[in-house]
């Protein structure tokens, strides 16, 4: 088995964090890393104890939900809250950061931004990152989290066995078994 790269690993962490998002418009996760160690994580959602978009709907002003704190900002604020320095760190974000988050990333001393998906990439953000010597890199990583993989594999194996018992043709069974092996390594 081949190990995933560091970039894939940390981006997968960000994707996992995005599953906690309470935003109904876009789910985003961010992971701050220094020396190959996770120092903070965040997702887009409301302030602690506040109304969430999933419960009350988005509060949109000028086409932007003002109820939500962005994932990057939540991760940076987590570091501030617990006294963890962000200088010389990297951030992994599921989507390209907005202008406000770009400025916060620069001010936090983060030196590399890795992102998985383009999202309203603003040219001024790239200009700001360039002026601040912040490296920006798109990472191809869309992890899938299949918590029931084993159960699904067992179900397919049992289903194939039942088909064989009920007289399915050898050709049909061979084809289905081949497809199952591709999916599950059954």
Show which residues are catalytic.
72
Distance CA 63, CA 17 (A): 24
Q: How far apart are CA 115 and CA 123, in angstroms?
A: 16
Q: Are 151 and 158 in contact (CB under 8 A)?
A: no
Parallel/antiparallel/unpaired status of strands 112-117 and 90-95:
parallel
Task: Locate all alpha helices (DSSP H) within the chain, ordered by sequence.
Answer: 6-18, 53-56, 71-82, 99-107, 123-131, 149-165, 170-184
């Amino acid at each position: 088995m081949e190990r995933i790269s560091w970039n894939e690993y940390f981006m997968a962490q960000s994707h996992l964090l995005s599953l906690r998002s309470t935003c109904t418009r876009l789910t985003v996760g961010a992971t701050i890393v220094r020396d190959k160690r996770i120092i903070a994580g965040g997702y887009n959602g409301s302030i602690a104890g506040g109304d969430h978009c999933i419960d009350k709907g988005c509060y949109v002003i000028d086409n932007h939900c003002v109820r939500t704190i962005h994932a990057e900002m939540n991760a940076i604020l987590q570091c501030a809250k617990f006294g963890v320095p962000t200088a010389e760190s990297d951030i992994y974000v599921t989507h390209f950061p907005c202008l406000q988050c770009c400025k916060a990333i620069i001010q936090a001393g983060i030196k590399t931004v890795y992102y998985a998906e383009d999202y309203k990439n603003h040219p001024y953000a790239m200009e700001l990152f360039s002026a601040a010597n912040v490296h920006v890199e798109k990472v191809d990583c869309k992890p899938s989290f299949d918590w029931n993989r084993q159960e699904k594999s067992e179900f397919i194996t049992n289903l194939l066995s039942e088909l064989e018992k009920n007289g399915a043709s050898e050709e049909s069974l061979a084809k289905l078994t081949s497809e199952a092996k591709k999916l599950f390594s059954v």
